[in-house]
Amino acid sequence: MNAQTEPIAKPPIRVKMKVGNLEFEIECQEDQLEESIRKILLTVKESGQPVTMTERFTPPTRAETCKGVIQRLWSEGWFANSRSLDEVYNQMALIGYHYDRTAVAHALIDLVKEGILGRDGRPRRYRYAQKKPPTQ
């Protein structure tokens, strides 16, 4: 048998964009996308249509684990003062991360076991503080 290997064709990319009050839909191969957008923007500019940027593209944020968010708070020095589970939970919600309280409690325990945070107090009243300071 003679097996020929052909490159697998990638499916086309479909992009919808809005420039000013004009909307465009592009369907092309990935390597053609940049040039296609450049041509559209040039055409809009030459047409005399007012072009204003109302939104800035932001790439999708990477999903963070509960433990990762708490480690970020630690690295920012937020645990310089001792904090209760409720304070940690509320701070995470304030910055846009809504995890179950149980998940937050488990992540805190993991960080205590790793020696990053210390825990004082009695059950249901524990307070968590940095055990070792974050490195700058």
Domain count of the chain? 2
Residue 78 lies in a domain: yes
pLDDT surpassing 70 at residue 5: no
Counting Cα atoms < 13 Å in the Cβ hemisphere of 54 gives: 8
Question: 70 and 107 share a domain?
Answer: yes
Spatial CB neighbours of 101, under 8 Å, sequence gap ≥ 6: 85, 89
| 2 domain residue, yes or no | no
Q: Is the pLDDT of residue 102 over 60?
A: yes
Whether the CB-CB separation of 112 and 67 falls below 8 Å is answered with no
Full residue range of the structural domain in which residue 25 is found = 13-47
Number of neighbours of residue 99 by Cβ within 10 angstroms: 20
41 assigned to some structural domain? yes
Residues 88 and 34 placed together within one structural domain of the fold: no
pLDDT value of residue 133: 83
The CATH number for 85's domain is 1.10.10.10
Pairing of strands 13-19, 22-28: antiparallel
* pLDDT of res. 77: 92
Q: What is the mean pLDDT of the chain?
A: 81
Is residue 79 located within the same domain as residue 112? yes
pLDDT digits (tens, 9 = 90+) for 58-88: 444 556 899 999 999 999 999 999 999 999 9
- Look at residue 56 and tell me if it is in a domain: no
Do 75 and 122 sit in the same domain of this protein? yes
- Please indicate, yes or no, whether residues 25 and 72 belong to a single structural domain of this protein: no
The predicted-structure confidence for 6-16, as pLDDT tens digits, reads as follows 555 667 777 77
Give pLDDT, residue 130.
Answer: 94
Q: What is the pLDDT of residue 79?
A: 95
Please indicate, yes or no, if residue 57 is contained in any of the structural domains: no
Is the model's pTM score more than 0.75? no
Cα–Cα dist 114/74, whole Å: 13
